[in-house]
Structure 1
């Protein structure tokens, strides 16, 4: 299958498949003289495995280490993924049960305790905050948190709107007028929260791909979105100079 056919079959963008090839994570079995990538059934099985790992939060670097290990067993990996997905489903089931009870509570059909209202949530610490403090200092992070409180829920809603908007055009060329207009909204939004120069904006785009935590969070809105945003941000910066 050609790369476009694989993209249509799996929902993974062509840009992401090219990226997987570039980093040696998923190299097609054949390449034609014209340069077309040709994926075998074995390649598709590997891609399925990669997507299971991605769904479970594994970084691309870690996935590559696992797949290239001499001790790697595809069947054992599936067994492990199944176990982890069942644990994930257990947590999701708990959260669904909580929201169903909350709806009934709102209708007056039952009474929930405060503890029951938060069952199933993961209240882990922000994984980025300590790193941000080390990079940019307490003042910068405190100011950002202050603005987040000031804008309230509207801030998250606006952020999600822009992410979904960008995800809708991620299959376009990053240099297209539509992509550039939407990435411009992202630049404007970020400067509501802080002060981003064009150079800092480009550097942030690189981090979206280099740091797997960012990639995972952004790609929740659409597979390959982080990579698309990086490229679109680079074009935006180049045009702005």
Structure 2
């Protein structure tokens, strides 16, 4: 007797149009017809439909399904292995995108609530690169220091940001002067500038021991987006980021014997968001 296309559509969860398409494509042609010429599906057809829907759920194209069903012994296992790898890669990609979206939301939520005019007044040429902020969120999401810095940054008032940026501008002018004067990066003057930056991070964002400060400085030297949060492009000079990194490392060595005796398992992570201004 068989099943009508409407019956199969109902209990298989597919549309009649889809069943007609499978028929025209030669993927699932009913084994029977009624006297009036209507399609009739038998048990073998339903079993084949179940296989088709299984492969469709896994994302196979109809042409690929047709090849597998034409010779299931030769094609099914290898095709499934390939698809498994593809799905695993896609799952990983989607997980990364979900994390990025989550961190982007956090960045936006902890941002400074200012009008465009106020933002320009406070930050001037310093611009926020959301891609860098999101990357920092992903990399340091398990860092207590990063979480604290984000929370403190989000709690700063407009007046706080004005004071912070004014302090950062004064520091930046000193950095540029030291660099222009040709002071050695491991000299006292350059190390003092590096120490001022470390204290700035501690004062406005999160405690910044020398080991953390080294890692922050390395990021300045390796990622232009990070250094642009510190020194706007119009004020940057060739080699300035690397110069600052060397000064920070020298200053860290100067302070480490006092501040970090025998501390080998320090877990502090650099605060990326805290590099808005220094």
TM-score, with length taken from structure 1: 0.44
TM-score, with length taken from structure 2: 0.39
| Greater Rg by CA | 2
